[in-house]
Structure 1
Amino acid sequence: MADVKSSTGITQSIAASALRAQQARMRIIAENLANSNSTSRTPGGDPYRRQVPVFQPTKVSGANGVAMARVEPDQTDFKTSYEPGNPGANAQGYVKEPNVDPLIEALDMKEAQRAYEANLNVIETARAMDTRTLELLRK
């Protein structure tokens, strides 16, 4: 019984670490979407740069889990648009726009939500197994 309990506890801890990582990922995606139209207020200045979460393995209850290690800026080029009246326009009248693609962010959000739900199901299944095991032992 102790082995069953500890293995489901470890499973729950690993899934919980993944829940936290996906939750952090969703916050980064939401920030990217919120700033997808943010341009610089200074002429020729850089707009908001898309942020990308970086994950790393981490020890959780003696097993490998996952955690967000850091957030890095996406180094892809900025888009430009011709808006000579914009305060952020350069001398040629072009404004740099964020390198955020709302479609990519929406797809990343959907993927993060599905991963979150999958890990939540792991936790619920492990709890159900614990409950069922206890019921069997009581009989």
Structure 2
Amino acid sequence: MNDLFQTLSLSTSGMQAQATRLRHVSENIANADTPGFRRKTISFETALRGPVDGMVEVGKVRLDQSALVQVFDPDHPLADASGNYEGSNVDLIIEIADAREAQRSYEANLKVFDQARQMSQGLIDLLRR
């Protein structure tokens, strides 16, 4: 029975990590047109401490250090003398792909959670007989 509860904990940590990832992807998409915005990225780490080994933890949020896009618009308030200003380094194609991957990973963890829940319920029903 303890293994089923550990499975529930593992899948829950995976869902929380993917939800955090999806939140950052959403922020990146929302700020794609914000001048000077740098894309946020996160990493996942395996927690080898605590009640269950192998739980997923979200690492630090990092800013993508790739070059910002130079946008030519002499009428923009942030434009320099040459008419350029720094845009964001968010690529919508990458963000949409990351969002889809996070969604699929969340769904996979949800299915594992549901299977473990059904198995524990089945075990409880068997023990009642």
- Both structures adopt the same fold (TM-score exceeding 0.5): yes
Task: Say which of 92, 97, 119 aligns to 1:129.
Answer: 119
**1:50 — aligned with what?**
39
Structure 1 unaligned spans of 5+? 40-46
Are 2:61 and 1:38 equivalent residues in the alignment?
no
Structure 2 unaligned spans of 5+? none
What is the Cα deviation at residue 60 of structure 1?
Answer: 4.9
Amino acid at match of 1:56: E
SS at match of 1:7: helix
Report the Cα distance in structure 1 between the residues aligned to 2:122 and 2:6, rounded to whole angstroms: 18
Amino acid at match of 2:9: S
Cα deviation, 1:2-59, whole Å, max 9, x if unaligned, reads xxx10010011011111111111111111101100001xxxxxxx1111101221113
Q: What is the root-mean-square deviation of aligned Cα atoms in Å? A: 1.2
Report the TM-score when normalising by structure 1: 0.87
Task: Say which of 39, 61, 65 aligns to 2:55.
Answer: 65
SS at match of 1:12: helix
Cα deviation, 1:74-104, whole Å, max 9, x if unaligned, reads 0111111211111111221112110001111
What is the Cα deviation at residue 62 of structure 1?
Answer: 2.7
Task: Say which of 8, 14, 17 aligns to 2:10.
Answer: 14
Equivalent residues, number = 128
Amino acid at match of 1:106: I
What is the Cα deviation at residue 61 of structure 1?
Answer: 2.5
